[in-house]
Structure formats: C-alpha cells, structure tokens
Amino acid sequence: MSGAGAPVVTVDGTGLRVTVVAASWHEQVMDGLLAGARRALAESGASWTEVRVPGSFELPVAAARAAAAGADAVVALGVVIRGGTPHFDYVCSAATSGLTDVSVRTGVPVGFGVLTCDDDQQALDRAGLEGSKEDKGAEAALAAVATAVVLRGVLVPGEPAGTSL
Ligand code: DLZ
C-alpha cells in the first residue's frame, strides 16, 4: 500500500492562511480529495480559500500565484490516471517538478496531493471517500500546514530572535 509508514500529523494552524489549488479532471476522486483537505484544514484551525484550474498541469502556476499573493501554505490537489498516451508522464512530471519549484523558490510550503495512478480503482482507494484506504487530500493539507508552522520557527542566522525564514 502506498501510505505505509505515513506519520500521524496533528497541528495547530490557527492564524495560517492557506490556498487550496485543485484540478478538475476525475470529478469523483477530486471531490474526495477536496473533502479531505477541507476537513483537515478546519480541524487544524487554519483559514483557506479554494481555486480551481482545468488540469494538474496548471497547478504549479496557480500555486505560484497563491504564494505571491501571500498564502502561508498551498495545498495542491489533482488526479492523473495512466492512459494509453504519453500525457500521463508529461502531466505528472510537470505537476511534480513545477510544484516543487514553486515551494523551494518562494519558501511557501506546498502540500502535494496529486494522485498519480495506474487506474481508477487505485485513485478511489486514495481519495478519502467511503471505502477508501487512504485520505490523500487530508494528508496533503496537514503536511502543508505542519511545514508552515515549522518554517515559522526557523530563525534567520544573524537576525534578531523572532525573525524567521
Ligand atoms: C491532457 C490530460 C490528460 C490526458 N489526463 C489528465 C489527467 O488524468 N489529470 C489531469 O489533471 N489532467 C489531465 N490532462 C490535462 C492537463 O493537465 C492539462 O489541463 C491540459 O494538457 C491543458 O494544459
């Protein structure tokens, strides 16, 4: 199972402003991912807004805009299912490297909730729906909030205490 070894994350995200960027392909699975992310963010105490883009390929540019607009953390949600075309590899690679680049370049954590699956069943198993084995939308949201909290506590060398990255 893909989630073996995942940590149990509990975090207080009170005061954090999070942007959820979500693709639109594979509606049922996306509904599950979004519901999981919303649930986790509400439980953490963070506030959030949601932005929809057409496909996972468009997630990085939306994440970059959210970071530039002042989000403390971004949660990126998408579903890519392997088909008979090379699109799978291109879309997965663009989403993965693009979101990593946004996060490292801006210093704003991006929770990676993009499912890259061989088939529909694998995606449903990870969607946080009734009967799913995993809840990847919630996991991505908690990872983003937990990382934003950690980064707030990382001091800048040579700067007064309380100045964080
Ligand atoms: C083109 C495409 C394909 C084949 N499959 C998916 C998918 O499974 N999941 C997804 O989020 N997006 C897919 N897309 C659309 C691309 O992400 C993108 O929206 C288009 O190539 C237009 O830029």
Inside any domain, residue 12:
no
Expressed in angstroms and rounded, the spacing between residue 142 Cα and the centre of ligand 1 is 26
Instruction: Indicate the burial class of 63 (C-beta count within 10 angstroms; 0-12, 13-18, 19 or more).
Output: buried
Expressed in angstroms and rounded, the spacing between residue 101 Cα and the centre of ligand 1 is 19
Q: Hey, what are 90's tokens? A: 């291109």
Range of the domain at 126: 17-150
Residues annotated as catalytic (active site), given as ranges:
87
| 75-92 mean pLDDT | 91
pLDDT given at position 129: 97
Residue 148 Cα distances to 52, 90, 102, 118, 156, angstroms: 22, 29, 14, 31, 15
Inside any domain, residue 49:
yes
Q: Residue whose CA is closest, atom 12 of ligand 1?
A: 55
| Probe residue for ligand 1, chosen from 77, 87, 116, 118 as the CB with the greatest number of ligand atoms within 8 Å | 87
Q: Residue whose CA is closest, atom 1 of ligand 1?
A: 87
In this predicted structure, which of 36-50, 58-72, 79-93, 97-111 has the lowest mean pLDDT? Answer: 79-93
Neighbours of 7 (CB within 10 A): 9
Inside any domain, residue 140:
yes
Residue 125 Cα distances to 46, 74, 106, angstroms: 27, 24, 32
pTM as predicted: 0.92
pLDDT given at position 22: 98
| 74-99 mean pLDDT | 93
Residue 155 Cα distances to 102, 130, 158, 165, angstroms: 21, 42, 9, 6
| Probe residue for ligand 1, chosen from 21, 53, 59, 80 as the CB with the greatest number of ligand atoms within 8 Å | 80
Inside any domain, residue 161:
no
Looking up residue 114, the CATH number of its domain turns out to be 3.40.50.960
Q: Which residues line ligand 1 (CB under 6 A)?
A: 23, 25, 54-58, 78-81, 83, 87, 91
pLDDT in tens, 134-158: 999 999 999 999 999 999 876 666 7
Chain position carrying tokens 């991006």: 110
Inside any domain, residue 2:
no
pLDDT given at position 86: 83
Q: Check whether 11 has a pLDDT greater than 80.
A: yes
pLDDT in tens, 20-72: 999 999 999 999 999 999 999 999 999 999 999 999 999 999 999 999 999 99
Q: Which residues pair with 77 in a beta bridge?
A: 22, 113
Inside any domain, residue 162:
no
Expressed in angstroms and rounded, the spacing between residue 88 Cα and the centre of ligand 1 is 8
| Probe residue for ligand 1, chosen from 21, 24, 25, 122 as the CB with the greatest number of ligand atoms within 8 Å | 25
Inside any domain, residue 155:
no
pLDDT given at position 64: 98
Contact 95, 140 (CB under 8 A): no
Phi, psi of 123 (to 5 degrees): -65, -45
How many distinct structural domains can be found in the chain?
1
Inside any domain, residue 59:
yes
